[in-house]
Structure 1
Amino acid sequence: MSIPSSSNPIAYDTYQTLATAYADRAPNKEYNAYYDRPAMLSLLEEDLAGQNILDAGCGPGIYSEILLKKGAEVTGIDVSENMVQHAQTRNGDQGRFIVGNLEEPLSMFQDQQFDGVLSALAISYVKDISALFGEFQRILKPGAWFCFSTEHPFFSYGYFKLEDYFETQSVFCQWRGFTDEPITMHSYYHSLSCITDALLNNGLVIERILEAKPVAEFEQKHPRAYAERLKFPSFIHFRARKA
């Protein structure tokens, strides 16, 4: 399957190449396992049994595995065929995993199909997040939830040395720790108002904004980064609900 023309081809190629290393290391990588994941899971409802949940940007299926163990019915979608293959391998005959582009209409899903959408560190690969959130609103049942994480705009504004805080723009950085050599990752920067407007303009009511701190295990992996993240966040987490 070829990548749809409107998606970010550089990020796609990178994730295709990175998929195996990411699947191997992300379960215990400090920013994933001890920062993003505890915060995201803290936003979820206690009882997910029987809920039909979309894991949007599922990567190698780590969150899908957690949701499945909680008794949910899970569909994972990712633009990278290699990531989808890892998700299928990780979860065996449980869950459903498909290749799809979050920058395109999610026409494979019906209106009001899902009880919840989880999207971990994935919306930064989508330029028009309002269009994506509109699709999430469409496929969510009334009263259903949407939990997601992304890079904190305040962190990204300084990290990328941006001149215009409000402009949605393409950015890139060097990722270290997944491969022996640094790998260039391309994504999009979104301001805080861009994110909140995309939610509210699509009928998604914000229930909580979480500026999380890493858990203690992070310090064992990366003491300096742990100390920095205790003082200034890299990620921001949201819980919203369809009105």
Structure 2
Amino acid sequence: MIQDKVIQTFNTFAADYEHSVDHSALYNCEYERPTMMECVPKDLPNKNVLDAGCAAGWYAQQFVNLGAHVTAIDVSPEMIEATKRRVGDTCTVMCADLSAKLPFEDDTFDFIVSSLTLHYIQDWDTTFQEFSRVLKKDGTFLFSVHHPMMDQQLSPSDVYFNCELVKDTWKKGGKSVDVYYYRRPLQVIINDTIKHFTFSRMVEPTPTENFKKQNEESYQKLMKTPAFLIIEAKNDKGRA
């Protein structure tokens, strides 16, 4: 199963995410994260936040620092252990599958963030239904995924409009690892979102000047072909 491969892959990546990504992975620390944090609601103190797909806990730590009550979940047991080492007892950390029913009561959270996680899930319908269920009315859902432009070159069909499984190869910790995930055209990303939430905005992040200083070639590549896409939505449970 693809999910088993995803778990195995991120168990393998856990040490790198815990010790290296925060300062050496420019696509994370100087591209996706700065823009995501600009989109985070400013009223987080004492709010309940779900970090859905927490990896090694970088976002969970940011939200704790902002005064939120944080619950961090991930499908990878090794990532969960890494998050626990980072945040200690400052938030709740547990292993959970985002493609299944979540272990939370209705209307539990004020804010759900999911960073670079949802493209590992084939069917967003169950996931978004669960997010809507556990998110309070008028709560915010913020997520980032691979941009369709980035994944098109990996498409086995070379048809932009297909939703399909792709395979990429990443180098982490001196090793080459096959990584499997799903690519979607932009219209599917948007339409799957508005099926369950009220769309607020879409952001295509740009790399920071520090990114440019450290890797001019990759900076110029991202300015021509974006790698990530950020979507913000609201949980309007009262809508028709």
**Under TM normalisation by the shorter chain, which class is it?**
over 0.9
Shift of 1:165: 2.1
Percent identity over the alignment is 29
Equivalent of 1:221, from 201, 214, 217?
214
Whichever structure has more helix as a proportion of its residues is: 2
SS at match of 2:224: coil
Equivalent of 1:235, from 225, 228, 231?
228
Alpha-carbon contact 2:156-2:166 (below 8 Å) kept = no
Alpha-carbon contact 2:154-2:167 (below 8 Å) kept = no
Alpha-carbon contact 1:118-1:146 (below 8 Å) kept = yes
**Aligned residues, how many?**
235
2:201 corresponds in structure 1 to 208
TM-score norm. by structure 2 comes to: 0.94
Alpha-carbon contact 1:49-1:72 (below 8 Å) kept = yes
Equivalent of 2:166, from 165, 171, 182?
171
Shift of 1:7: 6.1
User: Structure 1: which 5+ runs fail to align?
Assistant: 1-5
TM-score norm. by structure 1 comes to: 0.93
How does 1:2-13 map onto structure 2 within 5 Å? 8-13=3-8
User: Structure 2: which 5+ runs fail to align?
Assistant: none
Q: Which runs of 4+ in 1 moved over 4 A?
A: none
Does residue 199 of the first structure (1) align with residue 193 of the second (2)?
Answer: yes
1:147 corresponds in structure 2 to 142
Alpha-carbon contact 2:155-2:166 (below 8 Å) kept = yes
1:185 corresponds in structure 2 to 179
SS at match of 2:174: coil
Cα distance between partner residues in 2 of 1:7 and 1:160: 17
Alpha-carbon contact 2:154-2:168 (below 8 Å) kept = no
Shift of 1:141: 0.4
Shift of 1:159: 4.2
Shift of 1:161: 5.8
Q: Which moved more, 1:154-163 or 1:47-56?
A: 154-163
